[in-house]
Structure 1
Amino acid sequence: MLDRQDMPAAIRRADYRPPTFTVDAIRLEFDLDPAETIVTAELSLRCLTETAFPLHLDGEDLTLLELSLDGTALDPAQHVDGAGRLVLHELPPRAVLRTRCRIAPEANSRLTGLYLSNGIFCTQCEAQGFRRITFFPDRPDVLATYDVTVRADAGSCPVLLSNGNCVDRQSLPDGRHMARWQDPFPKPSYLFALVAGRLDRLADTFTTRSGRQVDLHLYVEPGQAARAHCAMAALKQSMAWDEARFGLEYDLDIFNIVAVADFNSGAMENKSLNIFNAKYILADEATATDTDMELIEGVVAHEYFHNWTGNRVTCRDWFQLSLKEGLTVFRDQEFTADHRSRAVKRIRDVRTLRARQFPEDAGPLSHPVRPDTYVEINNFYTATVYEKGAEVIRMIHTILGEARFQAGMRLYLGRHDGQAATCEDFVAAMEEASGCDLVQFRRWYSQSGTPRVTAQWHVEGPASGAGPGAGGQALPDGGCLVLTLSQDTPPTADQAEKVPLDIPIRLALLDGEGRPIAAWLEEAADAAPDRSAPGEHLLRLTGPRQRFRFRPAEAQEHAPLPSLNCGFSAPVILHADYGDADDAFLMVRDPDAVNRWEAGQRYATRVLLRMAAAEDPAMAVDGRYVDAFGGLLRDEAMDPSFAAVAMVLPEEGYLADQMAVVDVDGLHAAREAMLRAIALAHRNVLLGMHARLQPARPYRADADQAALRAQRNAALALLGLLTEDAEVQRLVMAHYRDADNMTDRLAALTVLAHHGQEAARNLALADFEERYRGEALVLDKWLAVQAQAPRRDALATVRRLLDHPAFRLSNPNRVYALIGAFAMRNQWRFHAADGGGYAFLAEQVKKLDGLNRQVAARMAGAFGRWQRYDGPRQNLMRAALESIRDMPGLSRDTFEIVNKSLEVGK
């Protein structure tokens, strides 16, 4: 157990100080060897202050072999302190520091710094990995140009890559060879990259709008190049889109991407040398689903877009992480929306926000988009920084409109090109370019928690004595609809006091047919009329409570029904006067597709919570909701991609967030009962849908065909609940057997693994395993399907799979596929009353902490909201957390997550 004095100290944003020394240029030489790599660094130092300060260079797990200053040798032992840093006193204003260090890539299981992945040398330096390569001021506000020479055995490492352009290649007399790379753009150390090994290459070119030809190279492990075409197409689409939408052109002669098997996250945007987790590069119809391919498009776009929003303009300190990540997530979301269904992309992003970020805001790990403190920066690569950060950017775009937002982007990038900037710099540029006041809006960056917006409305006017819920009244000439909006943000673990935010709310007033009506807003003006759709208004809720009066242009037979927060214009929890009848109407008639989906989710949530509270959820099925769902199914004119998401009920995790004390078993029983009731009531419609939506063959990966597969597989998922229906079960098996693509085969496998009869389930799982033996990324899907199965033996299955040859605890993809899928996606079985799931996860976190502390900390996050469960489960989870906290040698990463969770529970 950690003593109080041993607990890691928090780093505070308020304590930020500019660097006293910068590095104008760095020359690096790597002599690569798996056991003993030698790194020689030459730093051109410049003092930034008039007062002399010691120079502190970060270092971790480095053996310093040689040290010299301006050509004079120094004793290494006298300059490395107890924390592993290199400290020098009384430096001149300018100096050249030379170091020679030894590191051991093959022993580096943390996958930060320089390490080996299947024999390939690769790096991961964000956030603080460069200090594991050589001594350096490892902070994002020190920007230098890089000149890198890499030497390695020509047989085992024929490919030698680093940032920038290759300026020299030579064969060496000892069977080795070298490559020299120069990056002309100053960058922080976290953007440094190196890759060396045996790799296949897929090559292409892209011609920029100014006529420059850029060579595009995508490197993969031998034999995998055929599966890289999807990623290459996505890269070229991204480059063209960034020019067309944002006016941003690529700035070097070459762009390289490398896919590796062992990687902690999705990908890394190192300048001109992106390094990817192989799962976000390798794809074809036989091994990847439509969802995989869409994710590949989005991740490739995200990392490419960082070239400007993250690389050319980087963040001053790690508290400003959302400056690059939130902005770039917004950009990759817009890229996907412009290439696929905008409404469905928005719905998926909202689902992700609610599943990951809203719980984070409400739990012990709550923090603002721009945090105030951290113990370990790796723990702040969070849904709040990324997804909520993107929502903040989206709200600015909503308030300003496209033209003024783009003017702000041009000002921001032009003003700060080559600099390390802050979130404040970004907002200031938006204000200056648009003339729009965003002073209060800045609170979104500093205040944690999810705002709650309450909406009430009534009719005023001749012959009206209306109160709330007057949706059936007439609205005569001279009448108006009065909308009252109020906001509050509950206290969070990190902030007790909250202040009002500037919340943009898009809305439309709908008539009895669901058509927007023309109305004007009295004593106000739309903030961005060029952005609002016809009949739509944009309100800015800035106070605790505001009233808005809408006067229709014509008399209405029925009082208008507000469609609120259109397009999910603000990341808030909306409480409104909607009843079941209103939501049944909106889920069929609302012209805003996001709100149409939202109405269905809202209606389903109310029904499922009522069912969960009943003594027997299966006997409390609401027939009116089942009928309303049928209306959705019978709409053959509906966009298939929208239909596919509309046919999915709220997940158990989201439903749990709506309860004061989570009823694990009641929620699961209610959701399963409702799904079965829908399948029984609409069996023939679902069978007809499955038959009607058979995509043409051969397989095509385009968006239209993907949409048909998505709706067809949504129908299959519902039908799969009918386990006693022999015709349906034959259909599911035929769907699995006859599939010519991974999307359809995995959809059927999931149905069989989760709800199929034992013989069919075992047959399909065994067949899938045999078909894809040796395909690690595909077997990840096989592991995850079993880990997420809502079966009483799920934990026993997961424990058994730990010993399967496909599983490796040292590989993050395997851990997320099996352990993560069980703990974070199998709500019912992870939270089984006997506490077995909790004990299992604690065991695995302890093992992982010694191998890869970043992955261990992420897994420990599954315990984050333990205090929301019943007393017995709380006690079991608290005991699991305490057992992790008390483990000798626990890393800072895992300690921070576990300790924050326990502190909130006191």
Structure 2
Amino acid sequence: MRDAQPSTVYLKDYRQPDYLVDSTRLRFELEPNSTLVESRLAVRRNPAAGEGLPPLRLDGVDLELISVAMDGVPLSKEEYTCHAEGLIIPVHRAEFTLEIHNRIDPERNTSLEGLYLSNGMYCTQCEAEGFRKITYYPDRPDVMSRFTTTIVASKDYPVLLSNGNEIERGEVDADRHFVTWEDPFAKPAYLFALVAGKLEKVEDHFTTMSGREVTLQIFTEAKNIGKCAHAMRSLKAAMRWDEEVYGREYDLDIFMIVAVDHFNMGAMENKGLNIFNSACVLASPETATDAAFQRIESIVAHEYFHNWSGNRVTCRDWFQLSLKEGFTVFRDAEFSADMNSRAVKRIEDVSMLRTSQFAEDAGPMSHPVRPDSYMEISNFYTLTVYEKGAEVVRMIHTLLGSEGFRRGSDLYFERHDGCAVTCEDFVAAMEDANGVDLKQFRRWYSQAGTPVLEIDDDYDSAGKRYTLTVRQSCPATPGQSEKLPFHIPLKLGLLAADGSELALDSEGTKETVLEVTAAEQVFVFENIPERPLPSLLRGFSAPVKVRYGYTPAQLRLLMRADTDAFNRWDAGQRLAFGALAQLQRDYRAGTELQLQPELLEAYRSVLQQEDLDPALVAEMLTLPSAQTLAEEADIIDAEAIIAARKFTERALAEALYEELLQTYQRLDHDKPYRPVADDIAERRLKNTALAYLCITEREEALQLADSQFASATNMTDSAAALAALVNRGDDQRASTVLHDFYERWKEDDQVVELWLSVQSSSPRRGTLEAVRALMAHPAFELTNPNRVRSVIGAFANRNFEQFHQADGSGFRFLAEQVIALDKLNPQIAARLVTPITRWKKYTEGPREKMHAALQSVMDAGQLSADLYEVVSKSLKTD
């Protein structure tokens, strides 16, 4: 066990920093095991922090201190205190210059925080608290400083990058050179970046709305230089979109992106020098799927948008993380919706929210969008902070409208440029710009959990009056047993019996937003000519669960006629949930399983609607995942979920075989690959049809997959055929395509990761024995987060059937890997353990085995703060 628990940090204890750092000058002498870091800080007393001259406290972890000097005078060891987490220096004047020399070991830094050496490249990751692993510093976001950075390295590292604009370069001697960078904008230490390595670049330019020319550069290893074009196009599109939609112009002379293979996150928005996980920036038609192209477009935009929503205006403390992340996720979602299919983008985002974030809300790590406390801030880079935080911003947009939201964002950026602020400051700007009161709305930031709306209706045919009664509640969450009513925007429309939309008022309004603010509220609509069918929560206007007693016939009408594309899809999901719930009950009762006729006919009618967006059809044909079914269940019966879903998939595939075959053949045309919305939609539906066809295991269907695999000219079609054959084909067939695929692509890191994940997530091939074999494969590295996610993460999170084997072996395996990973990379270990933290929701047998696996992690001893927090909170039984 741990010798002591990590300490808890509380929002209520926030206080201003005692000292500010006006300028920071850094010099790095790069060596793999002995990098010398010299810092020169212009420090002054913070007038907002109070009177007197308290000691200066600097953060520092895993550093070797060499010397400290104040105003040029060296300090003896007796004049300061150096401890495991930092440095304490007595202060005798309000302004002074502090010089510190320390040494670090980048090669041994497997945590991938701070400065580390990976695959021959020096790289940094400083968010949230990685800068303290570089040098002693007030490592907190409300200390903002202007950085000048000099990097000295062997000429074996020809590219030396940091934040801002390059101001000087030269030779130190015959073997070493240097580059100095200056960032004119004050920033917190978490936005510092450094990269050094053998890199090639692609370069382009962008002319801003004021006529300035900005140089754009993407750096990567030479072998990947041909995979940068899509990221560059995405960057330029994001820059133009941010100018047009938000009026935000880029502010430096250069914007750089670097692709890194070993990276804990997707990407990092360091000022002017974005560092990306290679999987989130490199793409070509031959090696990247449509999903990868769209993900890259979204992430490139997200990190660029941070230049204003995160960098120019940053968060005061880490409790305010959603201030930048929630806002920026909303911004990148809107950008992606404008670039692609808005309806499908919304469906994808809500699917992930319902499956994973709602589960987080109901789990042991449940927390508000702005948490009240944490032991380790890395554990709060969560779906709640990001995705639910984005939904909170979206609700403000819904309540204020596009023009009102733009007025609010303009005021927010103008008022707080160059400042570190809070979520309240963001909401206040929205209020002040629009003359509205969002006091109650702020509860979305402070209250955890997923609200539930129970909705009943009544129709008075004589008075032509339709009444909706809405009751809201929110389940208890850790530390919050009582919840006050939320301010919930409920967007809706009313449908007639023939599917047409009814007018809601004398002006002919067809859609409205109801503001639900009380525990129970009644809304009345006059002059409604017939009993309507409500289309509720259109566009998923709030992150809530809606309970309304739709009949299967009503859901089929919504699927066919609703003008809101999201609700058409959602009606199909509700219909499928009902059918699958009944099948689970039948399975537990030992009753013969039968496919619900309404579900079959609904899916058949969707297939026959050729005028619909093919991507929307593909989404409507996709059953709720096992993970989504589990999240919806009060008690998770994994065995019944697996049985019900497998039966339904096969029954639909058999019954709709001819329609699916016709759909596949109609869309299986030979044309050049383009990662554009219309073509992506057609490929998505074609490959959805292929997956269903192969479920039948008919030779005709498997031969279609064989043919597609052999002739595919793009990775989307190749990977879809590979997955179909691995999941449904016989062992020989699957082994052959897996071998051929690997031999062709074994030199491409991103494709190898796809190859690993297809196997690990396969309910047929991804057995525990197969996963262990993949871990012994030369392509697997436990120190590479992408490989860990592709094998261990894919097995635990996406292979519901094999992970939930009755003997609990999957749970024990995950616990073993988490323990091993914690010694190398605590952040990845803490994120990977999630599937067994929700043990309380399962039926008795799995619950006991999950609990035992989780307890074994706790009993392993000497856990990192990251992992200890997650496991200790998850083991609590109260």
Find the partner of 1:32 among 30, 33, 38: 30
Q: Distance in 1 between matches of 2:223 and 2:787?
A: 21
TM-aligned CA distance change 1:63 to 1:78, over 3 Å: farther
Q: Distance in 2 between matches of 1:736 and 1:361?
A: 41
Query: Do the aligned residues in 1 keep the contact of 2:79 with 2:90 (CA within 8 Å)?
Result: no
Q: Distance in 2 between matches of 1:693 and 1:129?
A: 49
Unaligned runs of 5+ in 2: none
Q: Which amino acid aligns with 1:827?
A: F
Q: Distance in 1 between matches of 2:814 and 2:699?
A: 38
Q: Distance in 1 between matches of 2:775 and 2:595?
A: 39
Find the partner of 2:554 among 568, 582, 603: 582
TM-aligned CA distance change 1:211 to 1:791, over 3 Å: same
Q: Tell me by how many angstroms 1:420 deviates.
A: 0.2
Q: Does 1:219 align with 2:204?
A: no
Query: Do the aligned residues in 2 keep the contact of 1:2 with 1:886 (CA within 8 Å)?
Result: no
Query: Do the aligned residues in 2 keep the contact of 1:733 with 1:748 (CA within 8 Å)?
Result: yes
Query: Do the aligned residues in 1 keep the contact of 2:454 with 2:471 (CA within 8 Å)?
Result: yes
Q: Distance in 2 between matches of 1:360 and 1:831?
A: 19
Superposition TM-score, scaled by structure 2 size: 0.98
TM-align CA RMSD:
1.3
Aligned residue in 1 for 2:495: 510
Mean alpha-carbon deviation: is it higher for 708-717 or for 657-666?
Answer: 657-666
Give the secondary-structure state (helix, strand or coil) at the position aligned to 1:720.
helix
Q: Which amino acid aligns with 2:571?
A: A
Q: Does 1:807 align with 2:780?
A: yes
Give the secondary-structure state (helix, strand or coil) at the position aligned to 1:264.
coil
Find the partner of 2:625 among 644, 647, 651: 651
Q: Tell me by how many angstroms 1:170 deviates.
A: 0.8
Q: Distance in 2 between matches of 1:852 and 1:618?
A: 48
Aligned residue in 1 for 2:658: 684
Per-residue Cα deviation, 1:228-248 (whole angstroms, up to 9, x for no partner): 111000000000000000000
Find the partner of 1:672 among 636, 646, 660: 646
Q: Distance in 2 between matches of 1:452 and 1:150?
A: 54
Q: Tell me by how many angstroms 1:662 deviates.
A: 1.2
Q: Does 1:490 align with 2:463?
A: no
Q: Tell me by how many angstroms 1:658 deviates.
A: 2.2
Give the secondary-structure state (helix, strand or coil) at the position aligned to 2:157.
coil
Q: Tell me by how many angstroms 1:493 deviates.
A: 2.2
Q: Which amino acid aligns with 2:180?
A: R
Q: Tell me by how many angstroms 1:78 deviates.
A: 5.2
Q: Distance in 2 between matches of 1:457 and 1:225?
A: 60
Q: Tell me by how many angstroms 1:731 deviates.
A: 1.1
Q: Distance in 2 between matches of 1:845 and 1:617?
A: 40
Residue correspondence of structure 1 range 547-558 to structure 2 within 5 A? 547-552=522-527, 555-556=529-530
Q: Distance in 1 between matches of 2:694 and 2:442?
A: 48
Query: Do the aligned residues in 1 keep the contact of 2:367 with 2:384 (CA within 8 Å)?
Result: yes
TM-aligned CA distance change 1:196 to 1:534, over 3 Å: farther
Residue correspondence of structure 1 range 494-893 to structure 2 within 5 A? 494-520=479-505, 534-552=509-527, 555-556=529-530, 559-615=531-587, 619-723=593-697, 725-791=698-764, 794-893=767-866
Q: Tell me by how many angstroms 1:610 deviates.
A: 0.5
Q: Tell me by how many angstroms 1:82 deviates.
A: 2.9
Query: Do the aligned residues in 2 keep the contact of 1:618 with 1:669 (CA within 8 Å)?
Result: no
Aligned residue in 2 for 1:422: 422
Q: Distance in 1 between matches of 2:725 and 2:527?
A: 53
Q: Which amino acid aligns with 2:64?
A: T
Q: Tell me by how many angstroms 1:91 deviates.
A: 3.0
Give the secondary-structure state (helix, strand or coil) at the position aligned to 2:166.
strand
Aligned residue in 2 for 1:141: 142
Q: Which amino acid aligns with 1:773?
A: K
Q: Tell me by how many angstroms 1:76 deviates.
A: 4.2
Per-residue Cα deviation, 1:690-716 (whole angstroms, up to 9, x for no partner): 010124422222221111100100101
Residue correspondence of structure 1 range 264-663 to structure 2 within 5 A? 264-462=264-462, 478-520=463-505, 534-552=509-527, 555-556=529-530, 559-615=531-587, 619-663=593-637
Find the partner of 1:44 among 42, 45, 49: 42
Query: Do the aligned residues in 1 keep the contact of 2:220 with 2:260 (CA within 8 Å)?
Result: yes
TM-aligned CA distance change 1:283 to 1:430, over 3 Å: same
Query: Do the aligned residues in 1 keep the contact of 2:812 with 2:853 (CA within 8 Å)?
Result: yes
Q: Which amino acid aligns with 1:398?
A: T
Per-residue Cα deviation, 1:233-280 (whole angstroms, up to 9, x for no partner): 000000000000000000010000000000000000000000000000
Give the secondary-structure state (helix, strand or coil) at the position aligned to 1:587.
helix
Q: Distance in 2 between matches of 1:257 and 1:77?
A: 44
Q: Tell me by how many angstroms 1:79 deviates.
A: 2.4
Aligned residue in 2 for 1:469: none
Q: Tell me by how many angstroms 1:688 deviates.
A: 0.7
Per-residue Cα deviation, 1:528-563 (whole angstroms, up to 9, x for no partner): x9xxx950011000001111111236x34xx11110
Q: Tell me by how many angstroms 1:461 deviates.
A: 4.0
Give the secondary-structure state (helix, strand or coil) at the position aligned to 1:201.
strand
Q: Distance in 2 between matches of 1:850 and 1:252?
A: 40
Q: Tell me by how many angstroms 1:892 deviates.
A: 0.4
Q: Distance in 1 between matches of 2:353 and 2:525?
A: 31
Q: Distance in 1 between matches of 2:479 and 2:829?
A: 23
Give the secondary-structure state (helix, strand or coil) at the position aligned to 2:695.
coil
Q: Which amino acid aligns with 2:146?
A: T
Q: Which amino acid aligns with 1:293?
A: F
Query: Do the aligned residues in 2 keep the contact of 1:452 with 1:572 (CA within 8 Å)?
Result: yes
Aligned residue in 2 for 1:202: 202
Mean alpha-carbon deviation: is it higher for 69-78 or for 577-586?
Answer: 69-78
Q: Tell me by how many angstroms 1:656 deviates.
A: 1.2
Q: Does 1:166 align with 2:171?
A: no
Unaligned runs of 5+ in 1: 463-477, 522-528
Give the secondary-structure state (helix, strand or coil) at the position aligned to 2:467.
strand
Per-residue Cα deviation, 1:306-356 (whole angstroms, up to 9, x for no partner): 000000000000000000000000000000011111111000000110121
Q: Distance in 2 between matches of 1:617 and 1:710?
A: 36
Query: Do the aligned residues in 1 keep the contact of 2:142 with 2:420 (CA within 8 Å)?
Result: yes
Query: Do the aligned residues in 1 keep the contact of 2:470 with 2:522 (CA within 8 Å)?
Result: yes
Give the secondary-structure state (helix, strand or coil) at the position aligned to 2:83.
coil
Query: Do the aligned residues in 2 keep the contact of 1:618 with 1:673 (CA within 8 Å)?
Result: no
Aligned residue in 2 for 1:67: 68
Give the secondary-structure state (helix, strand or coil) at the position aligned to 1:686.
helix
Q: Which amino acid aligns with 2:492?
A: L
Aligned residue in 1 for 2:54: 53
Q: Distance in 1 between matches of 2:330 and 2:61?
A: 34
Query: Do the aligned residues in 2 keep the contact of 1:653 with 1:827 (CA within 8 Å)?
Result: yes
Q: Distance in 2 between matches of 1:696 and 1:618?
A: 44
Query: Do the aligned residues in 2 keep the contact of 1:695 with 1:705 (CA within 8 Å)?
Result: no
Query: Do the aligned residues in 2 keep the contact of 1:409 with 1:429 (CA within 8 Å)?
Result: yes
Query: Do the aligned residues in 1 keep the contact of 2:496 with 2:502 (CA within 8 Å)?
Result: yes
Q: Distance in 2 between matches of 1:138 and 1:421?
A: 16
TM-aligned CA distance change 1:618 to 1:237, over 3 Å: farther
TM-aligned CA distance change 1:409 to 1:662, over 3 Å: same
Q: Distance in 1 between matches of 2:81 and 2:557?
A: 70
Q: Distance in 2 between matches of 1:331 and 1:142?
A: 26
Q: Which amino acid aligns with 1:202?
A: V
Q: Tell me by how many angstroms 1:215 deviates.
A: 0.2
Give the secondary-structure state (helix, strand or coil) at the position aligned to 1:45.
strand
Query: Do the aligned residues in 1 keep the contact of 2:280 with 2:299 (CA within 8 Å)?
Result: yes
Q: Which amino acid aligns with 1:752?
A: L
Q: Distance in 2 between matches of 1:580 and 1:633?
A: 18
Q: Tell me by how many angstroms 1:195 deviates.
A: 0.5
Moved over 3 A (4+): 615-618
Q: Which amino acid aligns with 2:458?
A: H
Q: Distance in 2 between matches of 1:840 and 1:365?
A: 22
